[in-house]
Amino acid sequence: MTSFAISERQDDGLLSERVAGHLRRLIDEGVLGAGERLPGERQLAEALKVSRVSVRAALQSLKAEGYLEARQGGGTKVVSTARTLESPLAGLVRRSPQNLRDLVELRILLEGWAGQRAAQRQDAKALAAMEMAVRSMESDAKRKRTVADDLTFHKALAQGAGSAVYDHIHAVVGEVMAGMVTHLRQGVYETPEEARRLTRQHRAILEAVKAGDGALAQELIGKHMSQVLAVCGAEDK
């Protein structure tokens, strides 16, 4: 039986947004699969230890995002996951190198904003996750964990921004970006020196965020992602 319990966290924002974020994570992680019917509002409210008003608002938000739909005769079911939602985007990226470059350029803008927000908020949990990822990169002489650490770092940075909107965008494009990083691994992490350079860039971004210097974090993220963009451009020649 699926557990709907909300983890103990000190999230900012309305309780209904916390409930929506929690249910969204259950869907994105596959705990709640497409086609699965959710318990009624009362049962969800009891399981989550929140009011039915908060549950109702959260469900309406997830319906608007395309995750849920009302069932005929009552009830709510899961109709989409982050994997489903990003499929058209993944197809666009696979079909055209230009689309891949466009996605990286957009990520530069979005992640630069997220870096500024993370520097302002100083979320301890996100900073700790970023630190662990960078330390893993620094100790990974054979580059076996580099891609996984890269993805962990940027996911933690997104969490540090503390934005439900950015969280959703990051979830939707996350798998596309993961596939992109894996696809470009031979170019981006081709040599030990390139791997060390990427690791130094991640360390510099982290230190800027920890220091609360949002402008520097944004600048460093732009330079870091521009390296990936350069690889994308080289592939199209």
Vertex 125: Cα angle to 120 and 128 (nearest 5):
95
For residues 164 and 17, the answer to whether their CB atoms sit within 8 Å is yes
For residues 94 and 218, the answer to whether their CB atoms sit within 8 Å is no
Alpha-carbon distance 29 to 163, whole Å? 19
> How large is the average pLDDT for residues 129-149?
85
- The verdict on 37 and 105 lying in the same domain is no
For residues 88 and 127, the answer to whether their CB atoms sit within 8 Å is no
For residue 6, being part of any structural domain is answered with: no
Range of the domain at 56: 15-80
**Model pLDDT for residues 119-133, shown as the tens digit of each residue:** 999 999 999 999 999
Last residue of a domain, one of 45, 80, 115: 80
For residue 72, being part of any structural domain is answered with: yes
CATH number for the domain harbouring residue 203: 1.20.120.530
For residue 29, being part of any structural domain is answered with: yes
- The verdict on 105 and 176 lying in the same domain is yes
For residues 127 and 153, the answer to whether their CB atoms sit within 8 Å is no
For residue 40, being part of any structural domain is answered with: yes
- The verdict on 74 and 90 lying in the same domain is no
Domain count, the chain: 2
Last residue of a domain, one of 52, 80, 108: 80
Confidence at 5, pLDDT banded by 50, 70, 90? low
**Model pLDDT for residues 148-171, shown as the tens digit of each residue:** 888 889 989 999 999 988 887 887
Residue 104's pLDDT is 82
Q: Which helix (H) or strand (E) holds 93?
A: helix 82-95
| % of the chain surpassing 70 pLDDT | 79
For residues 6 and 22, the answer to whether their CB atoms sit within 8 Å is yes
**Model pLDDT for residues 181-217, shown as the tens digit of each residue:** 555 554 555 677 878 888 999 999 999 999 999 999 9
For residue 2, being part of any structural domain is answered with: no
- The verdict on 23 and 63 lying in the same domain is yes
Average pLDDT, the chain: 81
State the amino acid at position 32 in one-letter form.
L
- The verdict on 122 and 24 lying in the same domain is no
